[in-house]
Amino acid sequence: MTMVWKKFSGEPLGESIIGAVEKAIERESLLGNKLKVCIGTDSQVKGNVIDFATVIVFLREQKGGFMFIQQERISKKMSIKERMLNEVSRSIETAYTLCDLLDLYDVDLEVHADINTNPNFKSNQALHEAMGYILSMGFVFKAKPEAFASSYCANKMVQ
């Protein structure tokens, strides 16, 4: 199954994610905007179904931003830890796909995990594995409350 990337409006990108990201970087560069990219995934359980949303958030320095979105619905029972690590895996896969391109254009990249750093939250049980996974891949890691790409942007796409 091919995953379709879309704009926030819901319009499919109509090309590979690498091609769309490169065009976006070139367009923003011509406009004089310095970009940073933040990638995150969130999920929502509804009965026996889990909705996942992965986002690529482009932040323009002091000028707002925009994002590309990929959504998937699966039918599978998962523990909270398995689901959190599945989210992280989806974000890393996207980051890995784009990291060479972003390096080429000197665009900073962060991977955001929708995992709480507070041990009183259930998602915290996946924190150490997620952080180790992301950092070992060489990516900058952010967790809640700094992980806005997953906690806010992706979150809006699964509700």
Give domain limits for the chain.
5-158
Q: How many CB atoms lie within 10 A of CB 122?
A: 13
pLDDT in tens, 37-59: 999 999 999 998 999 999 999 99
Q: Is the peptide bond before 12 cis (omega within 30 degrees of 0)?
A: no
**pLDDT value for 1:** 44
Are 59 and 103 a contacting pair, CB within 8 Å? no
Residue holding tokens 């490169």? 22
Q: Would you tell me which CATH number, out of the four given (2.40.160, 3.30.300, 3.30.565, 3.30.420), belongs to the domain 5-158?
A: 3.30.420
pLDDT in tens, 81-106: 999 999 999 999 999 999 999 999 99
pLDDT in tens, 125-158: 888 899 999 999 999 999 988 999 988 888 888 8
**pLDDT value for 26:** 98
CA distance 39 to 92: 8
